[in-house]
Amino acid sequence: MLLVLLLLPMCWAVEVKRPRGVSLTNHHFYDESKPFTCLDGSASVPFDQVNDDYCDCKDGSDEPGTAACPNGSFHCTNTGYKPLYISSRWVNDGVCDCCDGTDEYNSGIVCENTCKEKGRKERETLQQMAEVTREGFRLKKILIEDWKKAREEKQKKLIELQAGKKSLEDQVELLRTLKEEAEKPEKEAKDQHRKLWEEQLAASKAQREQELATSAFQELDDDMDGAVSVAELQTHPELDTDGDGALSEGEAQTLLGGDTQTDAASFSDRIWAAIRDKYRSEVLPTDPPSPSAPDLTEPKEEQPPVPSQPTEEEDEEEEETEEEEEGEEGEEEDSQVQGEQPKETPSPVVPPQTASPTEEDKMPPYDEQTQAFINAAQEARNKFEEAERSLKDVEESIRNLEQEISFDFGPNGEFAYLYSQCYELTTNEYVYRLCPFKLVSQKPKLGGSPTSLGTWGSWAGPDHDKFSAMKYEQGTGCWQGPNRSTTVRLLCGKETVVTSTTEPSRCEYLMELMTPAACPEPPPEPPAEGNHDEL
């Protein structure tokens, strides 16, 4: 088409005698020497009835230059520009439809002939389009050559990677064997270290339990006769088993295994395990420490309250009371006056403080030989993992190269350069992103998560021009609608840029991408002969 339009200026407009409104290609149907036959063959009329302002033919072909037939067509010659057909109803309607003004020959309207100026602008546009096509096609040939070279390089690289993969596989298997061999003595040494530590931990716990049992036995053995009796056990009501708050003689005897007393050995072996969770040492505070701030200091003896200063009446009453108490026989010698300390009794044995559980539960460092085994095994693991990562990287590169080499990038691979690129178009609301052969997405301009408008599906142009459009499918689903999809039309251009994005129908988007790869081969430039203005 460009060739025809560019060659038209070389042709001189030839004036051929014909009725008004008849095109040059149809003039032979209008021979004034014989009757006119309607172009649809419906009738024949004398030639003097052509353009007589009365419609004789059903197709309106007898009135090409008047408005008599509503279904007729008027031909604008438009010398200097493009010929044009308009509806016969527009003839002499007071509006200049033809750039040469020939449609208003009898309306009283004077139409300016703008065909020459329009022709000039049209030629400039066509020349610009031809220049874009020529430059775009030049770039397209470069893209084709670049892909040929790149494809050859990728094929060579693929062969190298495939050969290197076998060597890496052998290396991975060798390092796997070395790793497993190094891990065997490591495991044995670590297991032995843990076993010794657990034995030491168990012995330490047993010793602590023995110390606690011994301490409790000494506290309970009030008379220090080397045995804990039922009565001595009853001094600890917290050991109550029936929930009445007191430890009865029967309950105490049951705790002692049916005996009336027990020695230190039996207490440690049988009795302590049954009472240790309830037993409260006499030297520990009765109220448990706050969980948020544990009291790690030794418990202090409870201090007696400080008595307040008595009044005169209280002094007299106290004196009388003291006299009465002195006179009474049978009073216990250890009775206490308010505010006085009890008489001295043997101090209870304070159980030894145990180490923090967290410190005890922490396994000690490995010995030098075990650490050497660990270091050797870790070095073997590092080498194996590094080789395994290298193998995975090579396998991934092989997959990517095989996919890229086998991909359909157009008849000559001209679209291959788009494979690793992405292009964006910003509108008032969204930022549209096209990554050819991968995906299309949109994201709110003011921030937010992107929405998929489809992933690569296939080439979607018509049969005669398959590579003129791309189809992206299975995007994010619309609310109560289908999954979003996008058709990308490829237009010829010197640059690669997304020019527009629309949504012609719900959830179906249309995007236009200009690219040199879409430029067709231009027609040969016409010879520079003549200086004509007509198209």
Asked if 424 contacts 453 with a C-beta cutoff of 8 angstroms, the reply is no
- Number of CB atoms found within 10 A of residue 517's CB: 27
β-bridge partners, 509:
486
Residues 69 and 130 occupy one common structural domain: no
- Whole-number Å distance between alpha carbons of 7 and 524: 11
Query: pLDDT tens-digit profile of 165-212?
Result: 999 999 999 999 999 999 999 999 999 999 998 988 888 888 888 888
What is the sign of the dihedral through the CA atoms of 194, 199, 202 and 204?
negative
Residue at which a domain ends, from 276, 303, 322: 276
pLDDT, average across residues 463-468: 92
Give domain status of residue 189, yes or no: yes
pLDDT at 295 over 90: no
pLDDT band at 245 (very low <50, low <70, confident <90, very high): confident
- Whole-number Å distance between alpha carbons of 357 and 314: 54
Residue at which a domain ends, from 82, 112, 142: 112
Residues 153 and 263 occupy one common structural domain: yes
The predicted pLDDT at position 275 comes to 82
Give domain status of residue 404, yes or no: no
- Whole-number Å distance between alpha carbons of 63 and 71: 10
pLDDT at 237 over 70: yes
What CATH number did the domain enclosing 498 receive? 2.70.130.10
Query: pLDDT tens-digit profile of 381-407?
Result: 999 999 999 999 999 999 999 988 888
Residues 77 and 130 occupy one common structural domain: no
Asked if 475 contacts 484 with a C-beta cutoff of 8 angstroms, the reply is yes
Residues 60 and 80 occupy one common structural domain: yes
The predicted pLDDT at position 266 comes to 81
Is the pTM for the entire model greater than 0.75? no
Query: pLDDT tens-digit profile of 27-37?
Result: 889 988 999 99
The predicted pLDDT at position 527 comes to 61
Give domain status of residue 492, yes or no: yes
The predicted pLDDT at position 480 comes to 84
- Whole-number Å distance between alpha carbons of 90 and 69: 11
Give domain status of residue 334, yes or no: no
Residues 262 and 131 occupy one common structural domain: yes
Residue 112 sits at φ, ψ, to 5 deg, of -75, 135
Residues 126 and 262 occupy one common structural domain: yes
Give domain status of residue 530, yes or no: no
The predicted pLDDT at position 528 comes to 56
Q: What percent of the chain has pLDDT over 90?
A: 49
Nearest to 172 by CA among 382, 398, 384: 384
Residues 81 and 181 occupy one common structural domain: no
Angle between helices 115-220 and 368-406 (to 10 degrees): 160
pLDDT at 320 over 50: no
Nearest to 95 by CA among 108, 80, 77, 82: 108
In whole angstroms, how far apart are CA 180 and each of 215, 367, 370, 407, 531?
Answer: 51, 22, 16, 42, 89
Give domain status of residue 211, yes or no: yes
Query: pLDDT tens-digit profile of 335-382?
Result: 443 444 443 433 444 444 544 555 667 888 999 999 999 999 999 999
Residues 104 and 161 occupy one common structural domain: no
The predicted pLDDT at position 229 comes to 84
Residues 133 and 61 occupy one common structural domain: no
The predicted pLDDT at position 16 comes to 64
Q: What domain count does the chain have?
A: 3
- Whole-number Å distance between alpha carbons of 277 and 519: 90
Domain that holds residue 477: 416-518
Asked if 475 contacts 451 with a C-beta cutoff of 8 angstroms, the reply is yes
pLDDT band at 317 (very low <50, low <70, confident <90, very high): very low
Residue at which a domain ends, from 257, 276, 295: 276
pLDDT at 309 over 60: no
**What's the mean pLDDT when you consider all of the chain?**
81
Residues 132 and 104 occupy one common structural domain: no
Residues 153 and 36 occupy one common structural domain: no
Give domain status of residue 385, yes or no: no
pLDDT at 535 over 80: no
Asked if 484 contacts 501 with a C-beta cutoff of 8 angstroms, the reply is no
Q: Which long-range contacts (CB under 8 A, 24 or more apart) does 440-444 make?
A: 440/472, 440/475, 440/486, 440/488, 440/509, 440/511, 442/501
Which tokens sit at 247?
């430890």
Give domain status of residue 393, yes or no: no
pLDDT band at 58 (very low <50, low <70, confident <90, very high): very high
Residues 463 and 488 occupy one common structural domain: yes
